[in-house]
Amino acid sequence: MGLLGAIWLARTQSTSDSIWNQLFVGISESCAEANVQLSLSDLFFEHQRGTFLGVYVLATSVGTYLGPLIAGFVADSNLGWRWIGWMAVVISGATIVVLYFTLEETLFDRPAYQVGERFTSRQNPAEPESGLQGLQEKKAGLSDAVTTPVEVTDEKPKSYWQRIALITPAANLEGFGFQQYCVRLIHTMRVFSFPAVIYSGIQWGAQDAWLMFYLTVEDDYWSDAPWYYGDVGVGLMNLPCLIGAVLGCIYGGYFSDMFMIWMAKRNGGVREAEHRLWFLFPLAIISPLGMLLFGIGTGKSWPWPGPYIGL
């Protein structure tokens, strides 16, 4: 989907094309964000997740802010602005090739390969007796039980091409799996009834909205008087955002892990999910202050240091 959106971007002819190609790019990006965060949550312990999720957010922030910076240089060069889309096509195509040949299937159907012992009793089943006599007879019956190993057939390891197959049917797949998918989708939607999920979604959506506010204002206002920025100058305005993203990921990642461990020690070794929320209080002041500084500074035509600090 991202590759198709990039091709459409490079071939844009109208405003509607610009809107629709970004729909494809957004679908691709949403899948990438969801899969990476779920994988990181499965790979690392709770007291490490802040750090590694911070590294992930930093990686996405670098792409978010360096992308317009590079795009500014490309648009200002002899290549022309359409090569912004063609560069995305090249990067997306290379990423698809790398992922296809290196990202192997990790699903393991554990119940199908469960190795254990089957317990059988030599005694005939009878009604259990109550009291001490019943317990003694039950204990004697357990001691007389015999074990029978479960028969397991040897299976050859999967070949490389089987491990990188584009589609690996699940062992519990029924038909094409459409009905199972719908059931799981409806079941997954129940998470939106949790206040923490709703709040996190609003916070993440607000972050994207503020990002669009910054990028739109930079392009619409800073190319006119009194700054007269070109494509390169507007692109360079993303450097303050990148610096802030680095500091924010360190603050919300590594330091939040350290703070959570410290709070758990004070709480008798018990970690609470709310311990990380304390780090939101400073941001509740800094974030609106930065938006006001940038917005008012742009509207009042302040010199560049003030709005840049807001970024």
What is the number of alpha carbons within 13 Å of residue 109 lying toward its C-beta? Answer: 8
Top pLDDT among 27 and 111 is at 27
> Taking all residues of the chain, what is their mean pLDDT, rounded to a whole number?
81
Q: Using pLDDT thresholds of 50, 70 and 90, give the confidence band for residue 231.
A: confident
Contact 93, 260 (CB under 8 A): no
Contact 117, 147 (CB under 8 A): yes
Q: What is the pLDDT of residues 117-169, one digit of tens each?
A: 444 444 444 454 555 555 555 445 545 545 555 555 556 788 888 888 888 87
Determine which of 20-24, 84-88, 173-177 has the lowest per-residue pLDDT on average: 173-177
State how far the Cα of 101 lies from the Cα of 117, in Å rounded to an integer: 39
Q: Which two tokens stand for residue 195?
A: 């206040």
Contact 214, 311 (CB under 8 A): yes
What is the number of alpha carbons within 13 Å of residue 221 lying toward its C-beta? Answer: 18
State how far the Cα of 189 lies from the Cα of 73, in Å rounded to an integer: 43
Q: Using pLDDT thresholds of 50, 70 and 90, give the confidence band for residue 189.
A: confident
State how far the Cα of 28 lies from the Cα of 1, in Å rounded to an integer: 6
pLDDT at 209: 85
Decide if pLDDT at 17 tops 60.
yes
Top pLDDT among 202 and 114 is at 202
Output the CA torsion sign for 52, 56, 61, 63. positive
Q: Using pLDDT thresholds of 50, 70 and 90, give the confidence band for residue 213.
A: confident
pLDDT at 93: 92
State how far the Cα of 284 lies from the Cα of 272, in Å rounded to an integer: 21
Q: What is the pLDDT of residues 52-109, one digit of tens each?
A: 988 988 888 888 888 888 888 888 888 888 998 899 899 989 988 998 998 887 777 7
Share of the chain above pLDDT 90, in %: 11
Decide if pLDDT at 111 tops 80.
no
- 211 CB contacts (<8 Å, ≥6 apart)? 64
Q: Which among 16, 56, 75 is positioned nearest to 229, based on CA atoms? A: 75
pLDDT at 133: 55
State how far the Cα of 130 lies from the Cα of 108, in Å rounded to an integer: 45
* Residue extents of the structural domains in the chain: 116-149
β-bridge partners, 119:
147
To the nearest 10 degrees (0 to 180), the angle between helices 254-266 and 238-252 is 20
Decide if pLDDT at 227 tops 80.
yes
What one-letter code names the amino acid at 62? Answer: V
pLDDT at 258: 93
Extended beta strands in 198-297, E state = none
Q: What is the pLDDT of residues 264-280, one digit of tens each?
A: 998 888 888 788 888 88
**Average of per-residue pLDDT across 285-299:** 90
